[in-house]
Amino acid sequence: MSDEITATVGHQLYSFDGRILEIFGNHPKRFHIRHMRLSVTGPDRKGRRIVEIDAVGTRVTMPYTAVEWEAPGLAALLEAVQAAIAQLAE
């Protein structure tokens, strides 16, 4: 993957370049796919989803409402991250 994928949810900008997931906002975060696991649970009965990132020394849990989840590009970006992580495991 050579193109950067971005998505904006609320005041946060997500960026993935094929190796690094960056989340810019109040508390910027940066994760390398080699050292992370990403899981998405839900939707629950109200359409909410939870994204968990386990990385070396940290765990980040991000809840999303149904409206936030529909932000352009968010689901595709997270799917690309999961695919890149899976490709490393092969």
pLDDT of 1 above 70 = no
Reported pTM: 0.90
At residue 2, the pLDDT reads: 54
> 61: which residues sit within 8 A by CB, 6+ positions away?
50, 51, 52
- The domain locations on the chain are 5-89
Confidence of residue 87 (pLDDT cuts 50, 70, 90): very high
- Residue 2's H or E segment, with its range, is none
**For all residues of the chain together, what is the average pLDDT?**
93
pLDDT of 88 above 60 = yes
At residue 45, the pLDDT reads: 95
Across the beta sheet with 5-9, what order do the strands follow? 5-9, 12-16, 20-24, 29-32
Strand partners, 66: none
**What's the CATH class of domain 5-89?**
mainly beta
